[in-house]
C-alpha cells in the first residue's frame, strides 16, 4: 500500500493573478464641466443651423410661394401629371 506513488491531481488551481492597473487620473471638475458645456453648445449650434437651413429650404421649395420675378397672383408652379414644374419669368 505504501509502495504506490502519491497521485498528483490532474488540475491544479493557481492563484488568481491580475496585474495592478495604474490608476487613471481624473480630470478636474472645471475641465469636465467645460467639456460638457462645450458639447451641449455645439449640439445647440448644429440644431439651430439645421432648423435655419430647413426653414430656407421649405421657403424656397414651397409651391405656395411664387417664383422669383412673378407677382402674387401668378402661379409659381404648373402641374403636369404628377410633376410640379416651376414657372420662370423668362418663359413668358
36-54 tens-digit pLDDT:
999 999 999 999 999 888 8
- The pTM score is 0.40
Mean pLDDT of the chain: 76
Strands (DSSP E) contained in the chain are 77-80, 83-86
For residue 41, give the nearest of 33, 52, 29, 53 by alpha carbon: 33
Residue-level pLDDT at 58? 58
**Do residues 74 and 80 touch, judged by C-beta distance below 8 A?**
no
Nearest Cα residue to 88 out of 71, 69, 61: 69
What distance lies between CA 46 and its chain's CA centroid? Answer: 10
Domain definitions of the chain by residue range? 28-61, 63-92
Q: Please report which confidence band the pLDDT of residue 1 belongs to, taking 50, 70 and 90 as the band edges.
A: low
Amino acid at each position: 500500500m505504501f509502495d504506490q506513488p502519491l497521485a498528483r491531481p490532474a488540475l491544479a488551481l493557481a492563484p488568481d493573478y491580475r496585474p495592478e492597473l495604474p490608476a487613471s487620473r481624473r480630470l478636474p471638475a472645471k475641465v469636465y464641466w467645460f467639456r460638457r458645456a462645450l458639447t451641449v453648445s455645439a449640439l445647440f449650434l448644429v440644431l439651430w443651423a439645421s432648423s435655419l437651413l430647413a426653414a430656407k429650404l421649405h421657403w424656397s421649395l414651397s409651391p405656395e410661394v411664387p417664383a422669383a420675378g412673378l407677382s402674387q397672383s401668378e402661379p409659381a408652379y404648373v402641374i403636369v401629371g404628377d410633376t410640379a414644374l416651376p414657372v420662370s419669368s423668362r418663359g413668358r
